[in-house]
């Protein structure tokens, strides 16, 4: 399929056929998920690909036994990993150092990027029990009186940033699945604490999305797709 065809073909499928799907193909679609745009290239995400029948049953229960979970051949859980910002920063720095050593980037760009990851990212992400968020917020608001600044600096702001990043990756995954003829259903209704226990996910991580995967039943798509008129959501300036 073309990208446009895959997007139009993607629907939230509520009932899947009893057919198995190829785990390697799903895994390749998750590789595409990792190519999504993301904030500061920190890639603060994790994808848990579940194919084991026992875990699938437990996850279906955690997802309120909704049909999209009960009938799914496989399930992908998208997890935010804000707690890994230090590790991801170091990996970016290592990559930048290699790029500079191999002369793929200039010394000026290298120094600028290093300042970003060594100074700005710690300022934004470092916190102690959420106490520094308010302090950073007021400092940046004052600075904003004189020049443009990043204003999303609190712990809750950064949680939103990380979840947006994970959502972009999830969409990459679902469009990729659609392009190979597989279907998905992103599910909001779930007991996230139960899911974290089932999959042994760290307390510091958060569930972004649970995605049922399989091949759609004819009755699995509940009617034609509805979208509000494009003119209601589009502004041209």
Q: Which domain holds residue 40?
A: 1-237
State yes or no: pLDDT of 130 exceeds 90.
Answer: no
Residue range 170-203, pLDDT digits in tens = 999 999 999 999 999 999 899 999 999 999 999 9
- Nearest to 11, CA basis, from 222, 191, 200: 222
State yes or no: pLDDT of 131 exceeds 80.
Answer: no
**What pLDDT, on a 0 to 100 scale, did the predictor assign at position 141?**
85
Q: Distance of CA 73 to CAs 47, 49, 211, 214, 230, Å?
A: 16, 11, 11, 5, 35
Report the percent of the chain where pLDDT is more than 70: 100
**What pLDDT, on a 0 to 100 scale, did the predictor assign at position 128?**
76
State yes or no: pLDDT of 2 exceeds 90.
Answer: yes
Domain count, the chain: 1
**What pLDDT, on a 0 to 100 scale, did the predictor assign at position 231?**
97
State yes or no: pLDDT of 51 exceeds 80.
Answer: yes
Residue 150's CATH number: 3.40.109.10
**What pLDDT, on a 0 to 100 scale, did the predictor assign at position 139?**
85
pTM, to two decimals? 0.92
């Amino acid at each position: 399929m073309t990208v446009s065809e895959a997007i139009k073909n993607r629907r939230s499928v509520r009932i899947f056929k009893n057919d198995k799907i190829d785990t390697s193909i799903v895994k390749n679609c998750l590789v595409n998920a990792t190519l999504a745009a993301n904030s500061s290239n920190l890639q603060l995400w994790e994808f848990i690909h579940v194919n084991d029948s026992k875990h699938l049953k437990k996850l279906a229960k955690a997802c309120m036994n909704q049909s999209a979970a009960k009938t799914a051949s496989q399930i992908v859980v998208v997890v935010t990993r804000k707690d890994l910002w230090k590790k991801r920063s170091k990996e970016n720095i290592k990559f930048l150092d290699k790029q500079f050593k191999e002369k793929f980037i200039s010394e000026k760009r290298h120094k600028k990027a290093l300042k970003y990851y060594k100074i700005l990212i710690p300022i934004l992400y470092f916190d102690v029990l959420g106490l520094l968020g308010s302090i950073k917020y007021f400092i940046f608001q004052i600075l904003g009186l004189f020049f443009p600044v990043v204003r999303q600096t609190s712990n809750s702001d950064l949680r939103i940033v990380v979840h947006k990043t994970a959502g972009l990756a999830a969409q990459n995954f679902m469009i990729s699945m659609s392009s190979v003829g597989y279907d998905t259903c992103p599910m909001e209704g779930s007991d996230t604490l139960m899911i974290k226990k089932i999959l042994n996910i760290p307390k510091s991580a958060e569930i972004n999305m649970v995605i049922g995967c399989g091949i759609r039943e004819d009755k699995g798509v509940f009617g034609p797709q509805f979208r509000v008129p494009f003119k209601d959501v589009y502004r041209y300036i």
